[in-house]
Amino acid sequence: MPSPAPSWHDARAALPACWQAAIGDEFDAPYMIELAAFLAAERAAGRTIYPPAPLTFAALAHTPLAEVRAVILGQDPYHRPGQAMGLAFSVPRGVRPPPSLRNILKEMQADIGTPPPGHGCLTAWTERGVLLLNASLTVEEGRAGSHARLGWHRFTDRILAAVNARPEPAAFVLWGNDARQKAPMLDAARHLVHVSGHPSPLAAHRGFFGSRPFSKVNAFLAAAGRGAIDWRLD
Task: Report residue 134: phi and psi, to 5°.
Answer: -95, 145
Nearest to 156 by CA among 30, 7, 39, 22: 22
**CB of 11 closer than 8 Å to CB of 26:** no
DSSP code string of 104-139 = HHHHHHHHH-PPP-SS---HHHHTTTEEEEESSS-E
Active-site residues, by number, are: 76
How many other C-beta atoms are found inside a 10 Å radius of the C-beta of residue 131?
A: 26
